[in-house]
Amino acid sequence: MGIGNDFYVKIDHELSQMYCERSVLEKYHASQLMRLISKPDNNILETQTAENVQLFRRLAISSILATDMSKHAEIVRKLEENNSLPLKKQDK
């Protein structure tokens, strides 16, 4: 098992302080993605309209933030409410 958000908060790491102790690693990863794609050699969005760039950024950031396992139960509950059906584990 790796080091998670709780660890960074417990040791009062600078990332924990920077991201206000919530979704620390996810916010860090989202910021790193935006930093990487803003470099000229990595700018996959350079030919896109401002509207598409904004949409990509919103979707990318929300997708990364959704990987915070402390939010998992809340996300599943919202999915169940929106679908009006309980999510069931698939048979393997």
pLDDT digit string (tens) for 15-64? 999 999 999 999 999 999 999 999 999 999 999 999 999 999 999 999 99
Closest CA to 8 of 64, 60, 68: 68
Can you give the residue range of the structural domain that contains 76?
A: 5-83
In a domain, 11, yes or no: yes
In a domain, 90, yes or no: no
Q: Beta-carbon neighbour count of residue 28 at 10 Å? A: 17
In a domain, 25, yes or no: yes
What pTM value is reported for the model? 0.77
Spatial distance between the Cα atoms of 61 and 63, rounded to a whole number of angstroms:
5
In a domain, 92, yes or no: no
Q: What's the pLDDT at 43?
A: 94
Torsion of CA 71, 63, 1, 19, to 10 degrees: -70
In a domain, 91, yes or no: no
> What SS3 state is found at 89?
coil
**Number of structural domains found in the chain:** 1
